[in-house]
């Protein structure tokens, strides 16, 4: 598969697919028990980072359900309540294990600003800024994530069309720009708590995420 991507100047140039580097069977714990997924690494990705794919199900669907999940060490691993990333990841794994599909795990911590800068942003958030205002205070854009590697990984898996599990319209927009057909989108659950309500509100109001927030007194 060869696609094209837009550059800042408005020109386009070829986007080559990545290549599967390793394909390893890995037992994965889910809410329904242990399942076996294929964990894959890649070469030829535009940013050179160690992104991985988990493929669930023995036979891949023609238009698979795909979750593109950006790394969140604080939420995914340590269970931080400041975001909804950990619950979204666990929900996606359970869903993909039950229905089949692909999880792309992208190494783009903190919407692309990195772990240390993300913790610096937390300090600013504690002073009253929202997550986007904190990034700007640190001289970063609202969201630096680049989904070209995701398109390359899907191309390496011979996927040309997807059902996308996301609340973020930018993911569908970028994947479409990079040659992937997004047949449909499906929202994740709304994992709201007193600790992350402000974060989720900012994602909805600033970045247009599709998140249904219950009344504050219910969280």
Of the candidates 126, 145, 148, 177, the residue annotated as catalytic is 145
Burial group, residue 216, by CB count within 10 angstroms (0-12, 13-18, 19+): exposed
Q: Which residue among the candidates 82, 84, 143, 148 is catalytic per the annotation?
A: 143
Q: Catalytic residue at 143?
A: yes
Both tokens assigned to 120 = 């610096």
- What is d(CA 35, CA 44) in angstroms, rounded to the nearest whole number? 29
Give phi and psi for 127, each to the nearest 5.
-90, 0
- 53 contacts: CB under 8 Å, gap ≥ 6: 39, 40, 42, 102, 103, 104, 105, 153, 157
204 assigned to active site: no
**CB neighbours of residue 4 within 10 Å:** 13
Tokens of 58: 């023995």
Could you tell me the two tokens for 36? 């076996």
Q: Give catalytic residue positions.
A: 143, 145
């Amino acid at each position: 598969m060869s696609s094209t991507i837009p550059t800042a100047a408005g020109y386009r140039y070829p986007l080559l697919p990545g290549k599967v580097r390793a394909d390893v069977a890995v037992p994965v714990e889910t809410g329904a028990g242990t399942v076996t997924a294929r964990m894959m690494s890649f070469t030829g990705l535009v940013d050179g980072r160690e992104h991985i794919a988990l493929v669930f199900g023995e036979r891949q669907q023609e238009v698979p359900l795909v979750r593109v999940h950006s790394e969140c060490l604080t939420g995914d691993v340590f269970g931080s309540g400041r975001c909804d990333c950990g619950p979204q990841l666990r929900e996606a794994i359970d869903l993909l294990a039950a229905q089949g599909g692909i999880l792309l795990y992208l190494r783009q911590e903190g919407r692309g600003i990195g772990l240390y800068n993300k913790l610096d942003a937390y300090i600013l958030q504690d002073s009253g800024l929202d997550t986007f205002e904190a990034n700007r205070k640190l001289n970063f854009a609202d969201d630096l994530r680049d989904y070209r590697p995701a398109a390359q990984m899907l191309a390496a898996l011979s996927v040309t069309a997807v059902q996308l599990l996301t609340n973020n319209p930018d993911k569908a927009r970028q994947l479409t720009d990079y040659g992937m057909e997004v047949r449909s989108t499906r929202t994740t659950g709304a994992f709201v708590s007193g600790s992350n309500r402000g974060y989720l509100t900012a994602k909805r109001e600033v970045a247009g995420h599709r998140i249904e927030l219950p009344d504050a007194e219910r969280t």
